[in-house]
Structure 1
Amino acid sequence: MTQDRARRPGRDDRRGGAPGARGSRPERGGKPERGGKPERGGKPERGGRPERGGKPDARGGQERRGGPGARRTDDRRGPRRDPEQRSADQAAYDGPELPSDVTGDELDPSIRNQLKGLPEKLAARVARHLVAAGRAIDDDPELAYQHTKAARARAARLAVVREAAGEAAYAAGHYAEALAELRAAKRMNGVTAYLPIMADCHRAMGNPEQAIKLAKSPSVANFAPEAKAEMTIVEAGARRDMKQFDAALRTLEMAPLNSKNRAPWVVRLRYAYADTLEAAGRDQDALAWFHRTYAIDSEQLTDAAERAEALEGRLG
């Protein structure tokens, strides 16, 4: 999963739509203030060593013990968590059961290298969750997301883990979580390849303006053709969300629709263009571009053939 950074955004494009470390434990009541040693046989001075049975309070005296109404004087421990919340947190930390045949060695070496700062057993557990997530992401994205949550609970300070969590959350339809995780990963490693997915998350959350803003980021100009095509599809989709069909078509027309390359990104560009033409009411043009899409879609990534047949039936 994390080996292929630019997961395809716009999971609905084929239908014409949107393509801790734990807190440190407080000291046990703290040390009492230094007091003078009492003379032999006398009582300790205030602030000195307390008599048995109590701890010094903030004023140097003794804290009351026991009793259901006894007030805690050490507020640094924070509020007690609800047992149900603790149970949910523990379940997320444990994660789904790991397949017995997953060792973690299947992880790409470049990713394994990023786990080397963790203790050996912890790194192995995180690696196994990442591998399991990568296996499940296409068929069961929710399961993949739960695996990445378990990895994140153990290694939240690693960009590669936050990236995996963001990609799995996106695939599972948890768009707010995906956006948060990918933002965190981008802050950690400065990678801009996440921008198309982040923009599509904004679309899914009903913020097309933010998607367009990300599409205009200066770094997009330096993207590889595939990533640039994905951002174009997302931007055009955001324009469609705002009912700006002409602007969506212009956005797609600036992309290499007529490229002789038969790569999947060209197929997706053509399909998005045909779909937008139909949405704009230009059925004849849409029919032509569905045929042009089908002509290069040897892997049947789209339903261009079915869309063309449906249009032909409607046009007579």
Structure 2
Amino acid sequence: MRERPERAPRADRPADPFVPDDVEFSQLDREVRGRLRTLSKEQAERAGKHLVMVARLIDTDPELAYLHAQAAVRRAGRVDVAHEAAGLAAYRSGRYAEALRELRTVRRLNGSPEHLPVIADAERGLGRPERAIVVGNDPEAALLSAESQVELAMVISGARLDLGEPEAAVAVLDGAVVHDARGVLAARVAQARATALAALGRVEDAELELSRFTQDELDAAAGDVEEEADEIVVFDLLDEPDEDGEDSEDGERSDESASDDEDELDDEDESDEEDELDDGDESDEDDELEPDGRPDEEGVTR
């Protein structure tokens, strides 16, 4: 039998971040584990452990969470939950163009509109509020949960403010779904409404909005529009994966490319995905041959 020649590690491959010994594949949500079992057992285990690390770190160390998400994508490039983790980690770490690309890939793979609020906010992050509004008008936004519809409304209100349209910003937050918000989400809505009202010069109305909440409630509500940590841990996706879905290109796109219209972005992603599938296969084979490393002083394996 012909011996298989040894393959040298790919010089262009980034080093994987270290995964502590207490991280277990079983810590993932059952549905996520099911998604990953389309891979070999070894690849599923390794990708899954990086996803666990994304969930652990995304609130406290989004940069390191991003590195773990990239490691997961290198091993599970055809799996929606890997791209979801990459998109959310990119968003949390301010890589908005990359977040858009990854979350659009997720939507192509599973058909879910659940990340429309993050996609819209990423457009705002890139200085494109008009495109955030287009995202908010997506017909499938009506399929979002009530909480996600409120999140999207707050993003669109902010986009209207970006465009110098405070009256429209207030109007966006007058819907019935928004008024039904409770708890921390209601406090966040009040903060968004107060900002829009103040921009209109209605300072007393803005103060009245906030007066319904304690300072502790307002402090708890303060922060950017983003998904709750529990949702990220679970990676809550649709039940039926798209078996014919393709992964997107690896690596970050430039902001200049991301400024093209959405159709061009999608066309480029789809054509690049076909080329990247073969690279993903090679990456998987290399990973199966390479042992896990241990961390250096910076916590990265070599």
TM-score with structure 1 setting the length: 0.64
Pair 1:276-2:199 in alignment: no
| Residue in 1 that maps onto 2:157 | 236
1:149/1:114 Cα in 2 relative to 1: closer, same or farther (>3 Å)?
same
Aligned to 2:171: 250
Name the counterpart of 1:263.
183
Q: Distance in 2 between matches of 1:205 and 1:299?
A: 27
Counterpart amino acid of 1:200? D
More helix by share: 2
1:90 partnered with 2:13: yes
Q: Between Structure 1 and Structure 2, how many residues are aligned?
A: 215
1:176 counterpart = 2:88 = no
Q: Deviations over 1:191-212 (max 9, x none)?
A: 1001110011111101111110
Aligned mate of 2:148, from 208, 224, 227: 227
Is the 2:136–2:156 Cα contact (8 Å) retained in structure 1? Answer: yes
Q: Distance in 2 between matches of 1:239 and 1:180?
A: 24
Q: How does 1:190-201 map to 2 (within 5 A)?
A: 190-201=111-122
For 1:255 and 1:246, how far apart are their aligned partners in 2? 18
Paired residue for 1:26? none
What is the deviation of 1:298? 8.0
Matched position secondary structure for 1:98: coil
How far 1:297 sits from its partner (Å)? 2.6
8 A Cα contact 1:229 1:255, kept in partner: no
Distance 1:158 1:236 in 2: 33
Q: Which residue, 196, 207, 217 being the options, matches 1:297? A: 217
- Extract structure 1 runs of 4+ deviating beyond 6 A: none
Aligned partner letter, 2:38? G
Alpha-carbon separation, structure 2, partners of 1:225 and 1:296: 24
Which ranges in structure 1 are unaligned for 5 or more consecutive residues? 1-82, 304-316
Please name the residue that 1:146 is paired with. 67
Partners of 2:188 and 2:198 lie apart in 1 by 15
> Residue 264 of structure 1: CA displacement?
2.6
Which range moved further: 103-112 or 214-223?
Answer: 214-223
CA RMSD across the alignment? 2.0
Taking a change above 3 Å as real, the CA distance of residues 240 and 287 of structure 1, as seen in their structure-2 partners, is same
Compute the displacement of 1:257 (Å).
Answer: 5.2
Percent identical? 40
2:205 corresponds to which residue? 285
**CA contact 1:262–1:297 (8 Å) conserved in 2:** no
Query: What is the correspondence of 1:1-316 to structure 2 with a 5 Å cutoff?
Result: 87=11, 89-91=12-14, 94-256=15-177, 258-259=179-180, 262-294=182-214, 297=217, 300-302=220-222
